[in-house]
Amino acid sequence: MTRVYLPTTLEDLARFVDQGYLPESTERYVAPGEDEESEYAALTAAAEASHALLQGAGRRVVVVAEVTDPDGTVALEQLQAVHADLADDADPDDDLAWFAAQEIPDLLGER
């Protein structure tokens, strides 16, 4: 299994949940190694890409999934966690908060 980091927004995360998958065309980052530093680098790159997706105010969101094909469709069941800003317009240099997959409905309710 490969861990992928997918930059998104809260609105796109809601669509992901409604559809049950993210298409192959979704941008993604893969850690070059399994160590914490490599994973943090992939998360940070995905967070920067998420910031670029925002049109005005919003919160950076990064979906983390374990997949067999890092270039394939990501099913909702493969989701491991979500990292997100705690508030709109957070400093892009701040770390993202961690949310378990089960907390996605609560996270989306905060929009």
Domain of residue 59, residue span: 2-109
* Residues written for the chain: 111
Cα 10 off chain centre by: 10
Report the number of distinct structural domains present in the chain: 1
pLDDT along the chain (111 residues), means of 10: 94 93 89 89 95 89 94 93 92 92 90 56
Spatial CA neighbour of 34 closest among 67, 76, 7, 1: 1
- The whole-number pLDDT of residue 32 equals 80
Q: What are phi and psi of 62, to 5 degrees?
A: -130, 125
Rounded-to-integer distance, Cα 74 and Cα 68, Å: 10
